[in-house]
Amino acid sequence: MNKSTQLQQAPVARRLKQLGISVLGAMALASAAPAMADVITFDGPLPDFPIFGGGESFTSSGYTFHVFDNPLSVSGTGLAGAVLNGNDPFVCSNAVCPSGNSTSYYAGLNDGSVKMTGSDVRGFRLSAVDFGFISPLAGQPAGLLPGKLTITAEKVGGGTVYAELEFGALDNSSASPFLHATLDSQFGNAAYSSVVFSSCVYDSANGCSQGKNQAQFGIDNIEVAAVPEPQTYAMMGLGLAAIGLLARRRRASHNA
């Protein structure tokens, strides 16, 4: 009688042990879930007058943006950037804003650039951005390719990654469309301490260059993600190992 009871209890004990392994694996994987990506939209709280000269800075979505004037400026403090409301038809009275964005976005003006930094010493990932050209003049021919957005990312520990994104062609109103660029292929393999966004315009003599206050751009919806803690990878490995062990035991039990 006692022997029979022990035999009946054995499968129950195995199931409980398997359940424990399964729960352990699930908990480990849950704790090791990758950090959710943040999207910097420039729609949050900003200064009362979000117009920036070289040397000024502001924060958005926990990241700091340092504004730099054009490379030929003597003082380095001229108008170089702003946060524009894409829903305001009068915001670009002296230029032609990009089309296809009715929310707030950052504008690099007069050959200016902007450097984005995070607060975490481990850096951040960069995976996507929306971008468009801010035309300095109306009346330019439709179909014209104006230039490129340039991205220079500083790796944590040293080294840089550089990429250029072609602006969309101008339409009949001299507006260039906002485009979406996925950056995983260029920037997906490293963590970065900073990213600089700038632009250049096509010139028959100099290729794509700056220097005449015509290189301007808009950026929005910058997709970034925090770099996981080192122990996160260890927990993920533990979770995968536990689930793998459970799968092997189930196969062995089925074949017995």
Residues 17-38 have pLDDT tens digits of: 554 444 444 444 344 444 567 9
Do the Cβ atoms of 125 and 227 come closer than 8 Å?
A: yes
Domains parsed from the chain with CATH numbers: 38-231 (2.60.120)
The structure's pTM equals 0.77
Residues 54-77 have pLDDT tens digits of: 999 999 999 999 999 876 666 667
DSSP state of 207: E
Least confident of 1-15, 22-36, 91-105: 22-36
Averaged pLDDT, 228-234: 55
Averaged pLDDT, 104-116: 96
Mean pLDDT of the residues in the chain: 82
Do the Cβ atoms of 169 and 141 come closer than 8 Å?
A: no
Residues 163-208 have pLDDT tens digits of: 999 999 999 999 999 999 999 999 999 999 999 999 999 988 889 9
Residue 192's DSSP bridge partners are 124, 155
10 pLDDT more than 90: no
Do the Cβ atoms of 198 and 107 come closer than 8 Å?
A: no
Q: What is the pLDDT of residue 246?
A: 60
Q: Per residue in 233-245, is it b (16+ CB within 10 Å) or e — as a string? A: eebbebbeebbee
Q: What is the pLDDT of residue 235?
A: 45
DSSP H/E element including 245: helix 230-255
